[in-house]
């Protein structure tokens, strides 16, 4: 899988190593374990999916992490993205709106010995102001626009990566806040994610 990711243009060695260390099959329902290393999203219950490895790799690479950062993740899901990030930064704060998935994610993190990820229950589009500012933020569900509270909680010099646009199809964007607080946006890839539900996303 790592060789395929490199062939698809992922260059960050740390990201490739992190993806290679994560046992994706342990984060899936038993019926889908045999498909764990396919390059596609797979169902995890509650109408949600685990992201494709290439999308996780692209998102992680775009965050440009060096190891010291505190990162906010919006949409914990299976905890796949959070576990990848746990290898790349100092601390991950991840928010999940569905209690069942939040419990499953915490159990998976504990089973895999991941100690630097905190799972919070709530509306991820509002962020988590008590831990802000964040060096990087990743959004793992598709919203109409980048939620303003997340941009407010992003540190100067920080990067936010997420899929934004119409519900049927989004573009994976990298939004960087410069030293003066101005935002600069870059498109990474076309994509389609499950809907980002919340006050600053799509309504439930």
Of the listed 51, 59, 60, 86, which one is catalytic?
51
H helix count then E strand count, the chain: 6, 9
> Is the Cα dihedral 125, 27, 38, 9 positive or negative?
positive
Asked whether the bond before 133 is cis by omega within 30 degrees of 0, the reply is yes
Whether 51 sits among the annotated catalytic residues: the reply is yes
In b/e form, how buried is each residue of 18-38, taking b as 16+ CB within 10 angstroms? bbeebebeebbeeeeeeebee
How many other C-beta atoms lie within 10 A of the C-beta of residue 2? Answer: 16
- The residues annotated as belonging to the active site are 51
């Amino acid at each position: 899988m790592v060789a395929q990711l490199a062939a698809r243009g992922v260059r960050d060695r740390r990201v490739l190593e992190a993806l290679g260390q994560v046992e994706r099959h342990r984060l899936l329902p038993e019926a889908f374990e045999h498909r764990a290393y396919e390059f596609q999203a797979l169902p995890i219950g509650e109408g949600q999916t685990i992201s494709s490895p290439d999308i996780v790799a692209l998102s992680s690479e775009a965050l440009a992490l060096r190891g010291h950062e505190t990162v906010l993740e919006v949409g914990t899901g299976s905890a796949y993205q959070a576990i990848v990030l746990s290898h790349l930064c100092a601390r991950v704060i991840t928010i999940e709106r569905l209690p069942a998935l939040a419990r499953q994610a915490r159990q998976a993190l504990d089973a895999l010995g991941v100690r630097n990820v905190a799972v919070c229950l709530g509306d991820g589009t509002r962020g988590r102001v008590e831990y802000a500012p964040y060096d990087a933020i990743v959004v793992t569900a598709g919203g109409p626009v980048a939620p303003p509270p997340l941009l407010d909680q992003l540190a100067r010099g920080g990067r936010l990566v997420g899929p934004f646009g119409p519900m049927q199809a989004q573009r994976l964007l990298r939004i960087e806040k410069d030293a003066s607080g101005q935002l600069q946006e870059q498109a990474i890839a076309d994509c389609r994610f499950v809907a980002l539900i919340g006050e600053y996303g799509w309504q439930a």
